[in-house]
Structure 1
Amino acid sequence: MSQPDAPLDLAAIQARADAATEGEWWVEEDDRVWTLHGVHARIPSGVPEIGEQILNHQILKAPKTGTPYAEYWPDRADAEFIAHARADVPALLARVRQLETENERLAKHADELATEIAEGISAQTMLKGLTVEDGRVCLSIEPAREMLLILVASMREMLDDAGAENYLVTEATFPPEVSLDLQDGQHPEDSYTLTVQRRHRPTAHDLRRRAETERDEARAEADRLRPELAGMTDLRDRAITRQDQLRAENERLADTGRRALASLDDLIRDHTDPGVEALGARYQLAQALTGHPHVCGNCDGIDPASCLMA
């Protein structure tokens, strides 16, 4: 059985029809049996009034009674379909072949008409040549000012009717993208660019809208982050201010410590035996001042912790 969408194999259908019992087919039916008959042979009678004699060929016999199994036979509609199929199939084959021949003739005629139309258009526009320059296809035509004026007027009317300020996107079915620049030679400022583009690819308008959407999204994100950035900047400024305050306070304390260390050194130098408490206090103070610039006559500021009076 062939698939519904498969192409018809007319030769195979014709071969099956030719191999089947010759037509016409007919049905005989009574209470006991259903029988399908075809033509076995046709014998001329030699008598014009009688015509030819047909020898019957029994194709199918379906008993209605007396069988050990359930009896089945076609109803009236199916029997009529089966009997007429012998003549219908060859007739349909002949009709299909006739239509195919007509279709080929019409297709050839359509190609001839297309050629004539193309030649007529070429003659009317006085086409002189076609060249490719820098990737652009250029048509050279004889002066055909009326045609250009019609195109320019049509473009102007399209823009005005649509209320378009600069350009208008109109869908059409064409080969890959083609651009055509037209202008009226008497009015060079009245010029237009016609862009034809595949329908399912983004137009210049689509790309511009996409870029504007991305720009707006970036601006919105920047606006959202701006308060956070301002808060972080303020926090940084306050941290720097606090750091400067702590540095000044640390320097003030270190200066005070250095003055106390100098006074303690004077006290130790003025006494031959300043005592363990004074020397211990000086050591602890020197340790606290480690890392801070200071002036000491004994250690020259190199290691205040080890600078002890002998």
Structure 2
Amino acid sequence: MTINLHGPLVLVGAGKMGGAMLSGWLANGLAPKDIFVRDPSPAPEVARLIAEKGISLNFSAADLAARKPAVVVLAVKPQLMGDVLPVLAELVSPDTLFISIAAGTSLFRLKELLGGEMRAVRAMPNTPAAVSRGMTVCFANPLVTAQQRNIADMLLQAVGDVGWVESEPLIDAVTAISGSGPAYVFYLTECLAAAGEALGLTPELSMQLARATVSGAGEMLHQLPDDAATLRKNVTSPGGTTAAALDVLMGEGGLSPLMRRAAVAARDRARELGK
């Protein structure tokens, strides 16, 4: 995949997620001369990348508007939106697509801060984007053209898979599953390692086993066409050790209802933050 745009790309916010996307765009052929970054204090590793590639940093909004950017990616923390976005209002035009990855920030709120009839996509990525294995789900407002939707798809695919929803409130459900989901997997790894220690294994070996098992199983999900249920059944012999463990995990009060409660809690909190 080679990224081609009809105008410059402006990245507002150069933290870990913004930096991950920037690395992905450069790796997929987006020319450094076509990228403009606005951040008063980029993450150190992103600052090094910006300097190494000769990317323009902290141009004024007026200069950026004169260059007619094709895309403005908003990668700042939600609590900073009120300070950052009004300054960028002059970038709003029919030819400029805004992509926001700010959690809990609705497109209505973006319009309040930017003014004008902006063409905007709200996106929810997750942290595996840092290793180009992210999952991003998007919602586009009605003004976004088919071409602009394809541009958003192309830019976000640089850090992993991309999906779309046709209702903005569903982004809160996405946040609960994939946005927060990596933390659930990391906690599962912690719990698996702790269970190994309880069975007499050393902490070091327990964590090694847990990490390798979780990452290996994840790679099987990534590479093989089988669904998760089939992969589970393939490793479960009737009456065997795995079946004994699954009787606990799949029993009453087991992992499925617990995960549903956790996801509901995350979704509800996302809704609260978006108000």
Superposition TM-score tier, normalisation by shorter sequence: under 0.3
Q: Which has the higher strand share?
A: 1
Higher relative contact order (CA 8 A, sep 6+): 2
Structure exhibiting the larger radius of gyration computed from Cα positions:
1
Instruction: Using structure 2 for the length normalisation, give the TM-score.
Output: 0.18
Q: Which has the higher helix share?
A: 2
